[in-house]
Amino acid sequence: MSGQEDADDRRASVVVIGAGQAGLSAGYHLRRRGFTGALDEDASDRTFVVLDAGPAPGGAWQHRWESLRMSTVNGIFDLPDFPKPPIDPEEASRDAVPRYFAAFEERAALPILRPVSVASVSRADADPGGALLVDSSAGRWRARAIVNATGTWNNPVLPRYPGRERFRGRQLHTRDYAGAEEFAGLRVAVVGGGISALQQLEEISRVATTFWYTRREPVFRDGSFRPEVEGREVIARVTADVEAGNPTGSVVSYTGLARLPYVLAAQERGALRRRPMFAAMEPAGLRESDGAFTPVDAILWATGFKADLAHLDPLGLRNDRGGIEMRGTRVAHEPRVHLVGFGPSQSTVGANRAGRAAARELARLLDAGSAPERETGPRPTPPTSSSGPSERRTSP
């Protein structure tokens, strides 16, 4: 890959990669700090563009399974300065949230190009102030900095177990779960101890015989989880990990599991009898760790997701433990790269805050030496409850 400038290269001060909650928040706050769309006719000397691989607004929400309703999500924080309109709690989150994101994109007039997938980000040269090359399905962008907001959905975790290829039943990951009905009457192993695992276990146990496997004994959290108290403690622990450059664990490894209604329902049905991980997979079922055999028809790997960062590999951000050392949203050793929706900001509220923090720091970085910048751009007006879906699709 050559850093030579090509006549077709496009330029932006900041390229935001991904338009889920984190990327939208970053874009919104860049706008408010006076950045203009890189393709605008009246572009200023501080420009940005958002490249999003998704086919439409909504980030990962457009791909969530149908039965994940607004009443069963953990709670979706409002996008910045843009309250959600009233939403039927029984509406599928994969419909309601993308509609809300689309309205936000429209009001905030964000310069989003989609579908555009970023394949790699590299340095044009060794100069620490030089360009970053963002190579995408729509050509190359030269940027002074990037905000990476690519989430986790495209990087599902699929642990390897002996005999995996020999198992004759169906195997799927949370990502591919479409609903419990397709498992009616079957024997289903659900693997994983996170929120998605428990939600899907509960649903499937209504229509099928289930077996629940986790690597470690799940930790249930009794008592409250107040964002301002327990929430802050969790964020502090994840922050300490990323500042030390440690790879972070799953969300529940920090938060524990709440005894929410679906957990209680699964418990009442007897579906929460946890088994330690099986030793091997055989053509017709699972060889348990004690040598017993359990016949199963399907295995649902509800084993979570990891940050989707492979396109940043050319930057060599990871240390020898596989972690990325961070300071806030900035990569400790590469101030031109911010990761939002990563580590402590892996939630909708965290994504909002991280987008804002990244925009603030990048404005400073790019403006070093001039007067401190202020938030100048307009606030989008909140939608009314009657505002219907208003989808802004931009193509490269």
**Which of 75/185 has CB closer to ligand FAD?**
75
Q: In angstroms, what is the minimal distance from the CB of 42 to ligand FAD? A: 26
Query: Could you give the angle at which helices 348-366 and 21-32 cross, rounded to 10 degrees?
Result: 40
**Binding-residue pattern over the window 292 to 311 for ligand FAD, x denoting contact by CB under 6 A:** -------------x--x--x
User: Which range of residues in 54-62, 200-208, 320-328, 357-365 is near ligand FAD by CB under 6 A?
Assistant: 54-62
149 binds ligand FAD (CB under 6 A): yes
Q: In angstroms, what is the minimal distance from the CB of 268 to ligand FAD? A: 23
Q: In angstroms, what is the minimal distance from the CB of 159 to ligand FAD? A: 17
Q: How many residues sit close enough to ligand FAD to count as binding (CB under 6 A)? A: 35
Residues 154-173 that bind ligand FAD (CB under 6 A): 154
Strand (E) positions, 52-169?
112-113, 118-123, 132-136, 139-148
255 binds ligand FAD (CB under 6 A): no
Q: Out of 29, 47, 49, 52, point to the residue binding ligand FAD (CB under 6 A).
A: 52
User: Which range of residues in 20-28, 156-164, 185-193, 362-370 is near ligand FAD by CB under 6 A?
Assistant: 20-28
**Binding-residue pattern over the window 69 to 88 for ligand FAD, x denoting contact by CB under 6 A:** ----xxxxx-----------
241 binds ligand FAD (CB under 6 A): no
Q: Out of 111, 151, 169, 285, point to the residue binding ligand FAD (CB under 6 A).
A: 151
Q: Which are the contacts of 29, defined by CB distance < 8 A and separation ≥ 6?
A: 80, 355, 356, 358, 359, 360, 375
Antiparallel, parallel or unpaired: β 220-221 and 209-214: unpaired
Q: Out of 82, 141, 153, 167, point to the residue binding ligand FAD (CB under 6 A).
A: 153
> In the structure encoding, which two tokens stand for residue 289, read together?
């760790």
Q: In angstroms, what is the minimal distance from the CB of 109 to ligand FAD? A: 18
Q: Out of 12, 15, 17, 102, point to the residue binding ligand FAD (CB under 6 A).
A: 17
Q: Phi/psi zone of residue 247: left (φ > 0), alpha (ψ -120 to 50 degrees), beta?
A: beta
Burial of 254 (0-12, 13-18, 19+ CB in 10 A): middle
Contact 274, 213 (CB under 8 A): yes
Amino acid at 263: V
Q: Which are the contacts of 221, defined by CB distance < 8 A and separation ≥ 6?
A: 255, 256, 257, 258, 259
**Binding-residue pattern over the window 334 to 363 for ligand FAD, x denoting contact by CB under 6 A:** -------x----xxx--x------------
Q: Is the peptide bond prior to 57 cis by the omega test (within 30 degrees of 0)?
A: no
Q: In angstroms, what is the minimal distance from the CB of 309 to ligand FAD? A: 9
**Which of 63/206 has CB closer to ligand FAD?**
63
- Chain-centroid distance, C-alpha 8: 31
DSSP per-residue codes, 188-254: EEEE--SHHHHHHHHHHHTTSEEEEEESS---EEPS---IIIIIHHHHHHHHHHHHTTPPP--HHHH
> In the structure encoding, which two tokens stand for residue 113, read together?
């190009």
Could you count the other beta carbons within 10 Å of the beta carbon of residue 370? 8
**Which of 111/341 has CB closer to ligand FAD?**
341
21 binds ligand FAD (CB under 6 A): yes
265 binds ligand FAD (CB under 6 A): no
**Which of 38/351 has CB closer to ligand FAD?**
351
Q: In angstroms, what is the minimal distance from the CB of 64 to ligand FAD? A: 6
CA angle, residues 115, 116, 118, in degrees to nearest 5 = 145
CA–CA dist 304, 312 (Å, integer): 21
150 binds ligand FAD (CB under 6 A): yes
19 binds ligand FAD (CB under 6 A): yes
Residues 88-117 that bind ligand FAD (CB under 6 A): 117
Binding residues for ligand FAD, per CB under 6 A? 17-23, 51-54, 59-60, 64, 73-77, 117-118, 149-151, 153-154, 196, 305, 308, 311, 341, 346-348, 351
